[in-house]
């Protein structure tokens, strides 16, 4: 067994024991020479023994401080994505019938607008709609919202616990994120109640963070694990969204877009700092970064929940959203790049910045090649235009953005869980190998940008609950 795989206290014991063993052997050698009455050698060894002892103790003390100051490693033990039943598929015909019969529009213009958005959205016929759209009356209620939440959450958590063999009583903290649905009791309380978790379990509920909250919740789990030591070992992260009570029935075009691209989705992940589980984990988190650009008014209002002129609540996605995403992505990259890029790319980028300054801004800085740092990138699957913009800004090829485009086609924008469906695509295709580095990036209201950098610990293996299992053979599609 490797030393690095042992718990911290065990590593300290072994290292300190080895240092004192070497000191003891040197002391024994001195005694032997003393019995031989070799005075000169004795004096030399005595002095050497004193120096070695002081050095060994000092080294042991400094090593203890170093190991205790190091952050605990954080691993993704496993994850699960929700796949609703086949009879919940939101085909074009089903969506069209719902809009015509269930929605309450005073004119045909909103219907035609949504039809055009849907056709250009990049979504296919296999995405999933919430339960209320298939019920008689098609009226969104609190009861149907709870049903949507429970179906997704219980499905993914059950699957995750089965795969990881983590018992409910072994869960030390629960993080739940859902952008636009915050019932009372909270969704984290729903999980505590359903799985009978321990009374001392730590719970966190995140809301209002949009599509970035899945990445942000993993970052929060990492911060908790790195600061909790042996008291907190396993953190259950559940990332979901709720469409039922957020369906917009007004006629503001900026708010109607959400009806066209958001679909049902949910994911759960088990994050741990237990080194004994490293060999069974999928990935290790090497870097995480969150940047918040809400101080800028245009960024703050780019995606905004409000009431329209008639008092109907919805989320407005402004025309400025794509520009805001590009600008804030560049700012985010400036902070992340020095931590992940090879030196050659950093030098090239620095040279282009200097050249831009010297030529008075006539040329723009060269975007670093992030594929020199990563084998795979999970690009934010917020929509067709967002994926294209990220590709343009970062100079990514179609093969790099393929998983994002295919995830959008198959599952739509599932908000906070979108990066996990994309991760499942990589695994279903068998593309990830041990040692590969993967970058997850997502945007959210506020405006926030989040990044996770992972290193794969083992080759990906087929999972029975992978949501792509029934359709992966027909992907990638030409969209």
Edge-first strand listing for the sheet containing 448-456: 202-206, 173-178, 234-240, 266-272, 74-81, 283-292, 448-456, 437-444, 376-378
Residue 293 a catalytic site member: no
Residue 178 a catalytic site member: no
Marked catalytic residue, from 266, 328, 332, 380: 380
Residue 458 is given by DSSP the state S
Element (H, E) at 454: strand 448-456
Q: What is the per-residue DSSP string for 308-369?
A: -TTS-EEEEE-TTHHHHHHHHHHHHHHHHHHHHS-HHHHHHHHHHHHHHHHTTTSSPPPPP-
Residue from 432, 352, 415, 469 nearest 209 by CA: 415
Marked catalytic residue, from 81, 178, 180, 211: 211
Marked catalytic residue, from 78, 266, 293, 376: 376
Residue 48 a catalytic site member: no
User: Count of alpha carbons within 13 Å of 81, Cβ hemisphere only?
Assistant: 26
Token code pair at residue 383: 């929509």
- Go through 100-129 and write b for each residue having 16 or more CB atoms within 10 A of its CB, e for each that does not: eebbeeeeeebbeebeebbeebbbbebbbb
Sequence-ordered strand ranges (E) for 46-169: 74-81
Q: In angstroms, how far is the first alpha carbon of the chain from the final one?
A: 49
Residue from 42, 16, 20 nearest 29 by CA: 42
Marked catalytic residue, from 242, 273, 409, 413: 413
Residue 194 a catalytic site member: no
Residue 287 a catalytic site member: no
Token code pair at residue 356: 């831009």
Yes or no: say if 187 and 232 are a contact pair by the CB < 8 Å rule. no
Q: What is the per-residue DSSP string for 425-450?
A: HHHHTT---TT-EEEEEEEETTTEEE
* Residue 10: partners with Cβ closer than 8 Å, 6 or more residues away: none
Which residues form the catalytic set? Answer: 211, 292, 376, 380, 413
């Amino acid at each position: 067994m490797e030393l690095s795989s042992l718990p911290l206290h065990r590593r300290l014991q072994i290292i300190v024991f080895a240092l004192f063993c070497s000191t003891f052997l040197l002391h024994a050698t001195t005694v032997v020479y003393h019995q031989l009455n070799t005075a000169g050698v004795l004096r030399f060894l005595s002095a050497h023994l004193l120096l070695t002892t002081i050095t060994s103790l000092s080294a042991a003390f400094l090593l203890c401080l170093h190991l205790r100051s190091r952050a605990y490693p954080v691993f993704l033990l496993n994850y699960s994505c929700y796949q609703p039943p086949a009879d919940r598929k939101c085909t074009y015909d089903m969506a069209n019938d719902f809009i015509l019969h269930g929605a309450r529009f005073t004119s045909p213009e909103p219907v035609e607008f949504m039809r055009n958005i849907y056709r250009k959205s990049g979504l296919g016929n296999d995405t999933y709609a919430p339960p209320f759209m298939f019920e008689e009356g098609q009226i969104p209620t609190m009861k149907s919202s709870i049903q949507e939440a429970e179906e997704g959450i219980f499905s993914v958590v059950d699957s995750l616990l089965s795969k990881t063999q983590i018992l409910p009583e072994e869960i030390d903290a629960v993080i739940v994120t859902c952008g636009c649905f915050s019932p009372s009791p909270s969704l984290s309380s729903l999980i505590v109640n359903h799985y009978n978790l321990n009374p001392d379990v730590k719970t966190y509920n995140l809301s209002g963070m949009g599509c970035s909250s899945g990445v942000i919740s993993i970052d929060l789990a990492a911060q908790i694990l790195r600061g909790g030591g042996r008291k907190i070992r396993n953190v259950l992260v559940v990332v979901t969204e709720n469409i039922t009570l957020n369906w917009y029935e007004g006629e503001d075009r900026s708010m109607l877009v959400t009806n066209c691209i958001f679909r049902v989705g949910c994911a759960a992940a088990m994050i741990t700092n237990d080194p004994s589980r490293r060999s069974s984990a999928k990935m290790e988190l090497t870097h995480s970064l969150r940047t918040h650009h809400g101080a800028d008014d245009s960024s703050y209002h780019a995606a905004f929940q409000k009431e329209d002129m008639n008092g109907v609540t919805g989320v407005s996605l402004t025309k400025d959203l794509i520009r805001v995403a590009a600008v804030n992505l560049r700012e985010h990259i400036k902070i992340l790049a020095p931590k992940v890029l090879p030196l050659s790319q950093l030098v090239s980028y620095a040279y282009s910045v200097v050249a831009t300054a010297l030529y008075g801004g006539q040329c723009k800085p060269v975007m670093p090649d992030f594929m020199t740092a990563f084998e795979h990138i999970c690009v934010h699957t917020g929509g067709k235009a967002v994926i294209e913009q990220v590709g343009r800004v970062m100079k990514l090829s179609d093969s790099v953005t393929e998983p994002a485009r295919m995830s959008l086609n198959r599952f739509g924008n599932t908000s906070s869980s979108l990066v996990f469906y994309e991760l499942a695509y990589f695994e279903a295709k068998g593309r990830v190998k041990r040692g590969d580095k993967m970058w997850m990036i997502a945007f959210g209201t506020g405006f926030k940008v989040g990044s996770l950098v992972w290193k794969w610990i083992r080759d990906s293996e087929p999972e029975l609950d992978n949501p792509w299992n029934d359709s992966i053979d027909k992907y990638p599609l030409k969209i």
